[in-house]
Homo-oligomer: A and B are copies of this chain.
Amino acid sequence: MAIRLAELAVRYGCELHGDPDLEVSAVATLGEATEGCIAFLANPGYQKFLADTRATAVILNAAAAESCNVACLVAENPYAVYASIATELYPPPALRPGVHKLAIVGEGASVPDSCELSPGVVIGRNVQLGERVYLGPNCVIGDDSVIAHDTRLMANVSVYQDVHIGARCNIHAGTVIGSDGFGIAQSAQGWLKVPQIGGVRIGDDVEIGATCTIDRGAIDSTEIAAGVKLDNQVHIAHNVQIGAHSAIAGQTGISGSSRIGERCVMGGQVAISGHLTIADDVFLMGRSIVTKSINQSGTYSSVLSVEEAGKWRKLAARFKRLESMAARIKALEVKLKSSMDGEN
């Protein structure tokens, strides 16, 4: 499929520099682009590739447009315009509707003809699928779960019973939704398992990466609101609530019953303790650890980045002696005061 620049400019509200009849049919990076490709410039670190790009057109902001020697679409948010154009050029693969002969559909399940159930799929009793749901090979859906229209599950996804997934979601391979929360009670006989009888509720337009784990609630449900985006290997414990349009990078873990606000952004490997509340619009730098509720939107961090190991070893040793450093400062203050008092 080829699209005229004029058409793209109109559709995405961009100012067009260059020949409106040029057509693009593929995306590429500035450095690798050839004729017929559209590239974009969003991260200033890649500006150095702009001057020599062989792209037919580049999506960029007004400031960068001056240094561009090929056609360009000038946008306030070049990355968002790129996302939209790339989605036009690379739509998800068309479904091949039907239930494969090696797929198993449980009693009472509702599977519209527009769905594609791949080989190895196993769906339980009374499962309800919306129109055009795609279930990749070896996906398993537990009894009474509901998946709304146009949602796609890639290979080997495990969904337990009583899980509701909204429309237009993408769920990547190996992810598990609805596993038991980590509910255990100490007793004289060791740990007692606490039955996890809540479900999981996932809103529309949610993206969930590969091998994530989203536990079912202990009594009420775990809830992920519309528009949330999770990267790979994210762990969401029981009864967590994640507000709409929050985005969470890889290997982050959120402990039980914590509530994350709307439009929060977390870097990778973040840890959030249980039973906390995080306000809307909180940005957590990667590897941050949160042990108390955060009531104010803003950016938070707890990162100490690497140093050469010898230098770090000294810093760590000093850190471990902070108490004695504080005591020495106190002693100096006392001595200096008495010395100066003595002078007067």
User: Which residues on A are within 8 Å of B, measured CB to CB?
Assistant: 27-29, 32, 43, 45, 77, 79-80, 82-84, 86-87, 89-90, 100, 102, 104, 118-120, 122, 136-138, 140, 142, 154-156, 158, 160, 170, 172-176, 179-180, 182-187, 190-195, 197, 205, 207, 209-211, 213, 215, 219-220, 227, 229, 231-233, 235, 237, 244-245, 247, 249-251, 253, 255, 267-269, 271, 273, 275, 283-292, 294, 296, 298-309, 312-316, 318-320, 322-323, 325-326, 328-329, 332-333, 335-336, 339-340, 342-343
Q: Evaluate contact between B186 and A80: CB separation under 8 angstroms.
A: yes
Q: Evaluate contact between B156 and A138: CB separation under 8 angstroms.
A: yes
User: Which residues of the other chain, B, contact A326 by a CB distance below 8 angstroms?
Assistant: 318, 325
With CB as the reference atom, state the residue of chain B lying closest to A335: B336
B176, B192, B294: the one contacting A210 at CB < 8 Å is B176
Q: Which of A79, A119, A120, A255: most chain B CB closer than 10 A?
A: A120
- Can you tell how many copies of this chain the complex includes? 3
User: Which residues of the other chain, B, contact A80 by a CB distance below 8 angstroms?
Assistant: 185-187, 192
User: Which residues of the other chain, B, contact A249 by a CB distance below 8 angstroms?
Assistant: 182, 255
Q: Evaluate contact between B155 and A220: CB separation under 8 angstroms.
A: no
Q: Evaluate contact between B118 and A120: CB separation under 8 angstroms.
A: no
- Rank and list the top 10 A-B pairs by shortest CB-CB distance, nearest first: A158-B173, A140-B155, A122-B137, A318-B322, A299-B309, A83-B192, A179-B210, A176-B210, A155-B158, A182-B231
Q: Evaluate contact between A286 and B271: CB separation under 8 angstroms.
A: yes
Roughly how many angstroms separate A193 CA and B219 CA in the complex, as a whole number? 33
Roughly how many angstroms separate A336 CA and B339 CA in the complex, as a whole number? 9
Whether A119 contacts B138 in the complex (CB less than 8 A), given A29-B219, A213-B209, A300-B309, comes out as no
Q: Evaluate contact between B182 and A172: CB separation under 8 angstroms.
A: no
Q: Evaluate contact between B288 and A306: CB separation under 8 angstroms.
A: yes
User: Which residues of the other chain, B, contact A138 by a CB distance below 8 angstroms?
Assistant: 120, 122, 138, 140, 156
Q: Evaluate contact between A290 and B315: CB separation under 8 angstroms.
A: no
User: Which residues of the other chain, B, contact A296 by a CB distance below 8 angstroms?
Assistant: 308
With CB as the reference atom, state the residue of chain B lying closest to A246: B191
Q: Which of A118, A250, A328, A340: most chain B CB closer than 10 A?
A: A250
Roughly how many angstroms separate A314 CA and B86 CA in the complex, as a whole number? 41
B185, B227, B235: the one contacting A233 at CB < 8 Å is B235
Roughly how many angstroms separate A205 CA and B191 CA in the complex, as a whole number? 9
Q: Which of A197, A210, A307: most chain B CB closer than 10 A?
A: A210
User: Which residues of the other chain, B, contact A315 by a CB distance below 8 angstroms?
Assistant: 319-320, 322-323
With CB as the reference atom, state the residue of chain B lying closest to A317: B322
Roughly how many angstroms separate A326 CA and B194 CA in the complex, as a whole number? 50
Q: Evaluate contact between B269 and A191: CB separation under 8 angstroms.
A: no
User: Which residues of the other chain, B, contact A244 by a CB distance below 8 angstroms?
Assistant: 190
Q: How far is the CB of A32 from chain B (nearest CB, A)?
A: 6
With CB as the reference atom, state the residue of chain B lying closest to A326: B318
Roughly how many angstroms separate A234 CA and B185 CA in the complex, as a whole number? 19
Roughly how many angstroms separate A229 CA and B183 CA in the complex, as a whole number? 10
Q: How far is the CB of A313 from chain B (nearest CB, A)?
A: 7
Q: Evaluate contact between A302 and B305: CB separation under 8 angstroms.
A: yes
Q: How far is the CB of A269 from chain B (nearest CB, A)?
A: 5
Q: Evaluate contact between A268 and B269: CB separation under 8 angstroms.
A: no
Q: Evaluate contact between A179 and B77: CB separation under 8 angstroms.
A: no
